[in-house]
Copies of this chain bind each other. A is one copy, B any other.
Amino acid sequence: MQSLLKGNAVIGQSGGPTCVINESLVGAIEEAARHEAVTGVFGARHGIEGMLKEDFLDLTKTDPATLARVARTPSAALGSVRLKPGKEECAALLKVFQRFDVRYFFYIGGNDSAETAHIVQQLADDSGYEMRVAHIPKTIDNDLRVTDHCPGFGSAARFVALAHIGDNLDNAALRGVKINVIMGRHAGFLTAAACLARLGDDDGPHLIYVPEVAFDLQDFCRRVDDHMTRLGRCVIAVSEGIQDKDQQPIFSTGERDSHGNVQLSGTGALGDFLASTLKKNLKLKRVRADTFGYLQRSFPTVISETDAREAREVGAFAVKTVAARDSSSGSVAIRRIGNGKDYGAEYFFTELSNVARDSRSLEDQYLVSGSPDVSPAYYDYVAPLAGPMPEVGRLADARVPKPGTAH
């Protein structure tokens, strides 16, 4: 039996914030207090950036009532970062950890964060410095491997679904074409969640376009035209990451972020391009486009309770697992047990290398071949994650007869 590995813990948050990323942070802080092995709990400001600058907050200094409020507060309370460190920076990181007697490193983020965690773990192993590294999953894109789904996704899916419930009613009241552009560079999970807004017959979104399916502008126009003919209106959910058959973006400003990725969010360009294409090709008058942008990942009060609870538990599970004797490094994953009303989840550890680098896309079972839509299986997948939708009231369709006509 191994002896207990005693030392400090560092926790960091990385990548795009979510509404529940602080639940994972607080889950980890609270759990750490229960383990003799963890002597101090340091929060890195702005992830790797703060670690390299030795910019740490003592997380034991925040009182429990404030911590409870932090957990319910969207966005990354420690600050976040988009830096993806190379081997050299990871080596510098390890030196900082050694200086601060850090034996536990928890990184809350996506697959880039898992890769950082993996490199640090390998460097520590190579240099004979005993430490445990845990990746705590977080992403609104839901694009991590192994896990059934990612903390952060459910609340973002809830925002997208609620937005479409309201937008579908708005579009029914003032008819026309409405395009909604949703986050998700490579994975269409979040865009697909718009299907939860279909509460009644003919409710939108009427078309759902995800990056996993090649986008064809002509086919798009034809399908919108069909809906305008049939219903007099059309609501379209489209991922910011849609690509043509040659995997080229349909429209982009050309700007690149620090990862070298083309900028997709924070601009209305794709929506405006699709709207003007429809106006021109179909001679339509009322075509509007909204880009949900950062609202969908940071809007307070729009939180899936399932997502919040799981995010908290995933943070706690990471600490409990690595602080135990005979533990090893890894990434926390969620296994679904039961679905629908019997939905439940349990947690397990998987190798960091299983989650690092590669990402997940919408599986074929969630798509509908030859149609810009998602399958009933996808609805069943996402419904318990986003939580119950509000009831929508509709007036009885009882027409008043014209005077003088038979009743």
Contacts and interface: CB of A to CB of B under 8 A. Distances in A.
A8 to B, nearest CB: 9
Contacts of A393: 22, 66-73, 77
A402 interface: yes
A125 interface: no
B295 A266 contact: no
B166 A395 contact: no
Contacts of A74: 166, 169-170
Interface string A260-275: 0000011111011001
Given A267-B288, A290-B293, A390 B72 contact: yes
Nearest to A69: B393
A249 interface: no
B392 A167 contact: no
Interface string A113-141: 00000000000000000000000000000
Contacts of A290: 266, 291-295
Interface string A372-407: 000000000000000000111111111110110000
Most buried by B among A166, A291, A301, A394: A166
A147 interface: no
Interface string A351-366: 0000000000000000
Contacts of A72: 390-391, 393
Interface in A254-305: 258, 265-269, 271-272, 275, 285, 287-295, 297-302
A61 interface: yes
A209 interface: no
A163 interface: yes
Nearest to A287: B266
Given A73-B392, A288-B267, A393-B68, A173 B399 contact: no
A29 B247 CA distance: 54
Given A78-B395, A173-B79, A288 B293 contact: yes
A81 interface: yes
A242 to B, nearest CB: 16
A400 B81 contact: no
A301 B302 contact: yes
A151 to B, nearest CB: 16
- Which 8 pairs of residues, A with B, have the shortest CB-CB distance? A268-B268, A266-B288, A69-B393, A70-B393, A290-B293, A75-B169, A166-B298, A61-B398
16 contacts: A17-B173, A57-B397, A57-B398, A58-B399, A62-B398, A69-B391, A70-B393, A70-B395, A80-B174, A100-B403, A162-B299, A163-B299, A166-B295, A265-B288, A267-B288, A267-B289
